[in-house]
Each structure stands twice: as C-alpha cells, then as structure tokens.
Copies of this chain bind each other. A is one copy, B any other.
C-alpha cells in the first residue's frame, strides 16, 4: 500500500486529537507529533488549525453515512432507526468518550470561530433535511405516530440525539442512547 501523504497523516491524526482533546485542548505541535510528520510541514498543507478542523469535519460528515437515509431498499422507519443505531455503534467503539464532532465543536467553538460555527450549522441542517424526508416517507407509509410537523420533529430528533450523545460522553454509558431509542420507538412505528 502506498504511504499516506503528509496531508492525509495530518487529517487522520487531527481527527483523533480533536475528538479526544477538543480544539483548544490540542496544539499544532501535538498534532504533527501524533501524525509523525515534521512540525514545519503543517503550514505547507493548512493555513491554520481551524482550516484543518474544517477538513476533519468534512470527512466526519461523510463517515456518518448520511447516504443510509436515502437507501430505499429499506422501509423508512427501520431505515431511520438503523441510521441512529449505526451512529450509536460508532460511539460505543470508543466507550462513548468521543461524542459527536459536530456537537463538540459546536459547544466549544460557536463563539470563537464563525467558520466552524457555520460549518456545524450547515452539517446539522443537511442531516435534519434528510431526517425530515424520511419522516415524510414514514408519514406517507402510516408509520409515524406523532402528528407534529415533520421538519419540527426532525429538528427535535437531531437535537435530542446530539444531547443524548453528549450525555453518553459525560456518563460513559449507553443509557442516554437507550432512552433516545425508547422515545423514538414511541413516535415511529415499525
């Protein structure tokens, strides 16, 4: 296998660093050390730590598999549940310690970086739009028990998920995710 480029090494190391230490809790020097690349090489690839954070978020958005929400081979209710379960499994792999990068950066950086705030906002909006579409499909299929507006309910569920993930990070347990699924199942049938 070809050796990953310095840029790739930086992005991969930073993904771990940011998830484990936040943005302000880690410096460029520690990221380059974790990546195993010379410190001086950083600014050949990224103008700032913030620019690297933006690239890490772009990768993270894809790794969350939003495409699962558009997989019409599954009925909408089990498809939506499967997507949240996929995200839960990813959190469990790290004993719930990492949380969601969008939530972490949103909490830490919304007042400090307009660029990061804007990217988190757009990422959550994109996700919410896809969840809204699946809820509309559920409604058409008669598997949505709630009478709330789909967009409002999708927004609520996305935020409730982010809150449950944050709580799981604090408690290091899946209890809050289980409570999310219990409520989810009371709203969505099948």
Give residues in A with beta carbon < 8 Å to B.
20-22, 24-25, 97-99, 103-104, 106-112, 117, 120-121, 124, 146-149, 152-153, 155-156, 158-164, 166-167, 169-171, 175-176, 178-180, 182-183, 186
Contact = CB atoms under 8 A, between A and B. Distances in A.
Contact of A166 (B22, B147, B156, B159): B159
Contacts of A120: 170
A164 B159 contact: yes
A110 B169 contact: yes
14 contacts: A21-B112, A25-B112, A97-B110, A103-B107, A104-B108, A106-B169, A107-B107, A107-B166, A155-B179, A156-B176, A160-B164, A161-B163, A163-B164, A166-B166
A175 B135 CA distance: 19
Contacts of A106: 107, 166-167, 169-170
B159 A176 contact: yes
Nearest to A184: B156
Contacts of A169: 106-107, 110-111
A148 B21 contact: no
A107 B104 contact: yes
A141 B93 CA distance: 42
B159 A163 contact: yes
